[in-house]
Amino acid sequence: MTTATTIVRCGNCGHKNRVPLAAGGRPRCGNCHRALPWIVDAFDDTFAEVAEKADPPVIVDMWATWCGPCRMVSPALERLAIERAGDVKLVKVDVDRAPRLSSRFTVQAVPTLLIMHHGKVIARQAGAAPVEVLRRWFDDAMEKDAREEKSASPGADRERRS
């Protein structure tokens, strides 16, 4: 279990919070209790606990340092993660430092974006897109996911605890 943390400043009250990279539930501000944006890096050895076991839906940004379009997409995703704080975790994977993940998800181009929920890939897209498109892509995937979870297990809420 990774015990690494990152410092996140609350967008509401400015309080600096120490937020774990991997944890059950969803981070909230220690001062005002608003949901905090959750933006973390993952590698081959931490992806399972950071992304697959996460409670909120996860956007996986598979990027590379040498990739021009990634420099446009990453800030757009960060903006989305701030807007949808509490409803999404953004997990950034540098493909050059995560060869096993790149081959597992057959990443042929960067950026490749995945939406995962409870370990399952529910949407995928390759290439850059502006924030409006990413926001719609994410919200549509969430709507579809909610419908499917409801029909798959009526009444069942969340059985997952770390």
Q: Which residues bind Zn ion (CB under 5 A)?
A: 10, 12-13, 15, 29, 31-32
Strands 58-63 and 89-94: parallel
Q: To 10 degrees, what angle do helices 131-152 and 70-83 make? A: 50
| Residue 67: active-site member | yes
Question: Least Å distance between CB 156 and Zn ion?
Answer: 32
Question: Least Å distance between CB 21 and Zn ion?
Answer: 20
CB closer to Zn ion out of 13 and 121: 13
Question: Least Å distance between CB 33 and Zn ion?
Answer: 7
C-alpha span between 74 and 63 (Å, rounded): 8
Alpha-helical regions (H) of the chain: 47, 70-83, 99-104, 131-152
| The residue type at 38 | W
CB closer to Zn ion out of 14 and 119: 14
CB closer to Zn ion out of 8 and 95: 8
- The residues carrying an active-site annotation are 67, 70
